[in-house]
Structure 1
Amino acid sequence: MQDDLPYCETGFFSELVLDYLEKNEKLADFYSKFPTIENFKPQIEAKKAHFSVHQRKELQAYFKQQYKLVEPHPKSLEQINKLVEPNSFTVTTGHQLNLFTGPLYFIYKIISAINLCQSLKQAYPEHNFVPIYWMATEDHDFDEISFFHHQGEKNIWKQDEDGAVGRIKTASLHQLVDDFCEELGESKAALKLKEVLIKAYKYHTTLAEATFYLVHQLFADEGLLIIDADHVKLKQQAIPIFEADLIKHKAFNHVTATSQQLYSKGYKLQVNPREINLFYLKDDLRERIIRDEDKFLVVDTSISFSEEELKAELHKHPERFSPNVILRPLFQELILPNLCYIGGGGELAYWFQLKSFFEASAVDFPILLLRNSALLYTNKQHKKIKKLNLTLADLFLDAASFESKITHQISKVKIDFSKQQLFLEKQFEDLYLLAEQTDASFIGAVAAQEQKQKNGLAHLEKRLLKAQKRKHKDYLKRANQLRLELFPGDLLQERHDNFIHYYIESQGELIQLLKSQFKPLQLKFNLVQYA
C-alpha cells in the first residue's frame, strides 16, 4: 500500500497552501525562501549575521532557568549549552496548550521540527540545529484547548479561571485525570503513559507547567527544547517592537497593506491586524489595549494610561504586555536564532501576511514549512480496505463522491450515459444544419431542445445511480463505517483524535514510527500503518 499522497489529492488543503507547495508565482512576494535543503544555506548565513552573542547568552540563561521545572534530560542540557555557539540555530513550531496535547497534529508538528533538524545536520554537519516547541501560554481562549477526543468520546475540563491559559491552575483537572487513566488498561505502554499524565497534571500547579512536563517526557530523548515566552527576560528584548506597535501602529500599517495584496490575488485572509496588537497581561487578566484619543485603555477594565505612562509601564514591566497572533511571530524570530517555522495551513496563511512587516522591522523572515500530516491505520483496517476493493486514497473523498465511486465500481449495471450523450449530440448536428438553411431564429429552439434532452439524460443517470446505491446499501454502509473510522466527523483524523489511543495500540512505538516515516521536506501526506 502506498505510504504517501500528494496534498492536492487529499481534498483537505486550501488553494493558498497548494499554490505555495507548487511555488505558484502569485505567492512569490509573500515569503522569503522556499523550504529546500539548499535554501537553508543562505538562511543560516543571514541569521548568523543578525543574531548576537548577547542574545545567545540571554536565551541560554532563560532555558537554564526554565529547565529547573523538570529533571532535565542530558540531551536537553546539551542542546541548551549549544545555543551560545555561533553555529547553532533553531527550528521552531508552536501550539496551544491543548489538554493531553489535544489533536494528533500537536505531535506531528513537533516530530516535523525534530526530523528537519536531523536532515539539516546531515546536510550541514558543521552547524547545530535545535528543535523548539513554543508553548502558547498567553492565549486566553480556554474553550479551544479544554477538551480532547479519545475513542469517540469527548473529554472536557470545566473550570472558571480567566486570563492566560498557561496560568490556569490544574487542581480542578485532577478528577478527570484519574477517571481517564482508569480507562487506559494495564499494558506496558498504558502504564507508562498513565504515570506521565498523572505527574504532569497532578504534580504541577499550572497548565503551562503541566504541558511543559508532558511534552518534555515525550520528546526529551530527541533534543527538543520547550519555550514559554511569558517571561520578563525574553520580553525585555521585545520592548522596541512592542513600543512601535503601541505608539506608531507599525504592524497594522504593514500587515494591512500586505493583506490587501493577498486578497487582490484571490486568497482568503487568515487574520486581521488591529491598530494595537498587544494585550495587557496581569494575574487572571489578558485584555486588549486600545487607543482612545490621548489615552490607552485596557478593554473591559478601569485601567488606562497616558502615552508616557504606557511607555513607562512597558519599560518597567514588559512581562505585562502580551503579543497577539500578528506580533507574536516577530517576537519569536527576535529572541531565537531561528531558521524555519513549521505550522499547519492556517498558520502559514497568516505568516504570508507578515513579510513586509518583518522587513520594516529588520528581522529575518524564516523559511515556512508545512508540517507533516498523516493518516494512521491498522493492519485490520488495511485488510478491510482491500476486501472492499478500495485504496486509502479513495477514503479521502467526501461522503457523496465516495459512495458514487464505490457504486460505479460494484454495480453490474453500467451507470454511464456518456455514449448516449454523444449519440444525442450527433443527432442534433443534423438539426443545426437544417436550422442554418431555413431560419436562423430556429437555431435557438434547437439548442434549447438539445439542452433539455441532455438534462433529461443526466437526470436519468442520477436516478439510476440512486437506485444502485439502494441496492448495494449494506456494502456502502460497511464502506462508510470504515471511512468514518479513519475520518471521524468527516474531518482529517489528525484534527480530531488524540494521540493516546494510537500510542497504546502501537505498544508505545508511535512517536518513533512517525519519526521514521516523516520527511518534512518531501511535502507529502503520509499514510502510516501503526498496528
Structure 2
Amino acid sequence: MNIVPEPLSLASRLAQDYIHHFERVSGFYGEDHRSEHGYAERVKWLDLSEDKRVQRKVLVDCLRTYNQLHNDHPAVHTSLQLLEQPGTVTMVGGQQSGLFTGPLLVIYKAITVIQAAREAEERLNRPVVPVFWIAGEDHDWDEVNHTFFLRQDQQISKIKLDAKDGLRTSVSYTGVAEEDWNLMLSELQTKLSDSEYKADILKLARDACNGSRGLSEAFAKLINRLFGKYGLILLDSADPGLRALEVPVFESLITHNETLGLSYQLAARDIKGLGYDVQADVSENGANLFYLHEGRRLLLYREGNVFSDRKGMVTLTEQELLRDLHAHPERFSNNVLTRPIMQDCLLPVLGTILGPGEISYWAITRYAFADLGLQMPLIIPRMSFSIVDGTVHKLMEKYEISFEDVQNRLDKKRETWLASKDELNLEDRFSKTREQFEALYQPLIEDLGRMQSGLLKLGLTNKDKILEQMDYLLSKSRNALEQQHEAALAQWKRIEQTLLPEGKPQERVYNILEYMNRYGLNLVDSLMEIPYESSGIHRVVYV
C-alpha cells in the first residue's frame, strides 16, 4: 500500500476549524487532544470522578453478557477484565448498525478507536480499552437499511432491507425475518463481482445474518469477525440490560431538563454568533429524550412540568415520567444531544472518536456537560481514507487527474479533454455559423417587417426555429463525439464512481465487503497497519 495525504472537503466549517484552527473554537470543547496536557488533565479528572459513573463491575457484567452473545472473542474478554479494574479508561466511537456494517466510514471509525486506544495506552502507561457504541436506539430505519456496491459496468447498485411493520421504533427493536435475511444474502451474491474471495465473503455475511433478530445483532457479529481479535468491546445503546443501569442518568436528564435545554440553546446561539451553522436541531422546548409508546419512538417536548410528543400521543408530568422510568426504563432513550452525556456517565471516556458532522454537533453539548458536573472528553477526529486500485491510479495518471481535481473540477477537466479530441472544432464552427446567420438574417427580417408588420413576427419565430435546429444538430454532434470516445469516457466514469460516487466521498457510500471481495478477507487487517493519525487529515490508499 502507498498512503498519500489528500485534503477532503468537509461540509462543516466548524469541524474544519476544530481540525485545523482549534483556537478559534476551543470554547465549545474540552481539552485539546493534540496536547500532552489535554490527556493528563482528562485522566486526572476521570480518576477523581469515578463516583459520577455507573459502577464498573455492574457495567462490565452487562457488557460481558452482551459480548458473549455477539462478540465472543478472548481479546474482548481481556478488554472487559481490564475495564473492570479502577484506572482503566476507554476510547469510544460509534455508529448506527447499518446493513452489512453500512458505509466504509464505520470501519474507519472502528480502526481509529482501536488505534487511538493503543496510542493513548503507550502515552499514559495505563490500560486504555476500545469501545464501539452501536447506536441501536436510533429509529431512522431508512438511514441504516441499505448499502451500496459498484458493479462491473461502473453503475452503483443498492441493497435495501424494507421494514415490515413500518413502526418508527429503535433499529435494535425492529425485527428481521429469516426470509428477509435470505433475500439480502441472495442480493449480495448477485451484486458482488466474481472473485477468488467471493465465497468466503458470502459465508462471512451469512454467518452474521443467521439467527440474528435484527440489524444490530448482525452488525455486531460482523464487527466481531473483523475486530474481535483487537479487543474491541461492543455496546448496544438499546440493550435492555444497559438501559436498567442508566436509570439514574435519565433521572438527572429529566430533573435538570429545563437547565439543560437552556444550555443547548445558549450554545447554539454562541455557535451562530461566530458565523457557524448549528448541526443539530435545538428546539426551544425540546426535552431531548425519546419515549417508546406502543412500538413508536416519540421525541418529547416540555411545557413547564409536562412532557409530551408533538401529536399528543403521550402526556406525562415530570413525576409521572420519573415513576415510569423506574418501572419501564426500556421506554426511554437519548437523542443526539443527550447521548454524549449518557456515554460519559456510563464509561470512563478518555476520548471519543467523531466524524466531521459529529464534531460539529458535539459543540452544542459543551455547556450541558457542566450543568451535570461533567467534563467533555477529548474529541479525536476519526481517520478518513479513499481506497484506489492500481487500474484507477493509472487512469488518473493517464488523464493527469489529481484527487483534488476529482473533488472540485472533474466535469470541467473531462469537458476540456473531450474538446481536445474535437478535430472538427464543432463548438467554434457552430458558434460562428450562428453569428453569421443572425448577422445576415436579422436585417432581412427587419426589412420584411417594414414591408408588412406581420412578417416581422413570423420572421423572428422562423429565426428562433432555425437557431433551435442548429443547437439540436450541435447536441447530436456532441453525442457523436462522445460515442467516438466512449471507451475513454467510461474510464473517466470509473475514476468518478470510484472516488466520488453520487458526488459523495467514497467512504460515505460503499461497503467494506465490496473491497474485501477485491483484495481479500485480510483487508481490514492491512488497514489496521496504516500508521495512526489523529489530525483528521484524509488519506488516499493506493493498493
Tell me, yes or no, whether TM beats 0.5: yes
Matched, 1:369 2:351: no
CA contact (8 A) 1:289 1:299 kept: yes
Matched, 1:340 2:351: yes
CA contact (8 A) 2:92 2:351 kept: yes
Matched, 1:34 2:27: no
Secondary structure at the residue paired with 2:319? helix
Shift of 1:325: 0.6
Q: Bigger CA drift: 54-63 or 262-271?
A: 54-63
Who is 2:186 aligned against?
179
Shift of 1:471: 12
> What does the per-residue CA deviation read over 1:272-327, in whole Å, with 9 as the maximum and x for residues that have no partner?
23431111125622112234565433454644333322221123322221111111
Shift of 1:484: 3.1
| Counterpart among 164, 169, 180 of residue 175 in structure 2 | 169
| Counterpart among 261, 266, 269 of residue 257 in structure 1 | 266
Who is 1:97 aligned against?
97
Shift of 1:516: 1.7
Q: Counterpart amino acid of 1:218?
A: L
Q: Counterpart amino acid of 1:167?
A: Y
| Counterpart among 119, 138, 159 of residue 155 in structure 1 | 159
CA contact (8 A) 2:354 2:381 kept: yes
Shift of 1:193: 2.5
| Counterpart among 407, 410, 414 of residue 396 in structure 1 | 407
Who is 1:290 aligned against?
301
Who is 1:142 aligned against?
141
Q: Counterpart amino acid of 1:67?
A: N
| Counterpart among 514, 520, 525 of residue 501 in structure 1 | 514
Who is 2:200 aligned against?
192
> What does the per-residue CA deviation read over 1:77-105, in whole Å, with 9 as the maximum and x for residues that have no partner?
11111111122111111111111111110
Distance 1:296 1:349 in 2: 28
| Counterpart among 297, 313, 317 of residue 306 in structure 1 | 317
Distance 1:348 1:278 in 2: 21
Distance 1:137 1:488 in 2: 27
Q: Counterpart amino acid of 1:48?
A: D
Distance 1:252 1:401 in 2: 47
Shift of 1:406: 6.0
Distance 1:42 1:159 in 2: 46
Distance 2:9 2:420 in 1: 21
Matched, 1:58 2:58: yes
Shift of 1:489: 1.4
Secondary structure at the residue paired with 2:529? helix
Who is 1:424 aligned against?
none
CA contact (8 A) 1:296 1:307 kept: yes
Secondary structure at the residue paired with 1:281? strand
Distance 2:305 2:136 in 1: 31
Matched, 1:525 2:523: no
CA spacing shift, 1:35–1:470, aligned 2, 3 Å: farther
Q: Bigger CA drift: 91-100 or 235-244?
A: 235-244
Distance 1:214 1:484 in 2: 26
Shift of 1:35: 2.1
Q: Bigger CA drift: 154-163 or 127-136?
A: 154-163
Distance 2:96 2:161 in 1: 15
CA contact (8 A) 1:234 1:335 kept: no
Length-normalised TM-score, structure 1: 0.81
CA spacing shift, 1:390–1:54, aligned 2, 3 Å: closer
Distance 2:119 2:39 in 1: 11
Secondary structure at the residue paired with 1:132? strand
Shift of 1:405: 7.6
Length-normalised TM-score, structure 2: 0.80
CA spacing shift, 1:393–1:516, aligned 2, 3 Å: farther
CA spacing shift, 1:50–1:80, aligned 2, 3 Å: same
Distance 1:377 1:224 in 2: 27
Q: Bigger CA drift: 342-351 or 25-34?
A: 25-34
Q: Counterpart amino acid of 1:490?
A: G
CA spacing shift, 1:302–1:121, aligned 2, 3 Å: closer
Q: Counterpart amino acid of 1:345?
A: P
CA spacing shift, 1:76–1:283, aligned 2, 3 Å: farther
Instruction: Please list, as runs of the form range in 1=range in 2, the aligned pairs for 1:310-459 lying within 5 A after superposition.
Output: 310-403=321-414
Give the alignment's Cα RMSD to 1 decimal: 2.9
Q: Bigger CA drift: 57-66 or 205-214?
A: 205-214
Secondary structure at the residue paired with 2:287? coil
Contiguous gaps of at least 5 residues in structure 1: 413-468
Who is 2:454 aligned against?
none
Distance 2:32 2:275 in 1: 21
**Percent of pairs with identical residues:** 25
CA spacing shift, 1:518–1:260, aligned 2, 3 Å: farther
Shift of 1:180: 2.6
Secondary structure at the residue paired with 2:59? helix
Distance 2:375 2:404 in 1: 39
| Counterpart among 261, 280, 285 of residue 271 in structure 1 | 280
Q: Bigger CA drift: 52-61 or 136-145?
A: 52-61
CA contact (8 A) 1:135 1:226 kept: yes
Distance 1:495 1:71 in 2: 25
CA contact (8 A) 1:177 1:201 kept: no
Distance 2:389 2:341 in 1: 42
Secondary structure at the residue paired with 1:249? helix
Shift of 1:480: 4.8
Secondary structure at the residue paired with 1:214? helix
CA spacing shift, 1:54–1:262, aligned 2, 3 Å: closer
Q: Counterpart amino acid of 1:165?
A: V
Q: Counterpart amino acid of 1:179?
A: S
Secondary structure at the residue paired with 2:9? coil
Secondary structure at the residue paired with 1:521? coil
Shift of 1:44: 1.6
Distance 1:358 1:281 in 2: 25
Contiguous gaps of at least 5 residues in structure 2: 151-155, 424-477
Matched, 1:219 2:218: no
CA contact (8 A) 1:344 1:371 kept: yes
Shift of 1:370: 1.5
Distance 1:290 1:252 in 2: 10
Distance 1:47 1:408 in 2: 63
Distance 1:411 1:508 in 2: 46
> What does the per-residue CA deviation read over 1:340-372, in whole Å, with 9 as the maximum and x for residues that have no partner?
111111111000111111012112211111111
Shift of 1:23: 2.4
Tell me the number of residue pairs that the alignment of Structure 1 and Structure 2 aligns.
472
> What does the per-residue CA deviation read over 1:460-484, in whole Å, with 9 as the maximum and x for residues that have no partner?
xxxxxxxxx9999646674354233
CA spacing shift, 1:87–1:404, aligned 2, 3 Å: farther
Shift of 1:25: 2.9
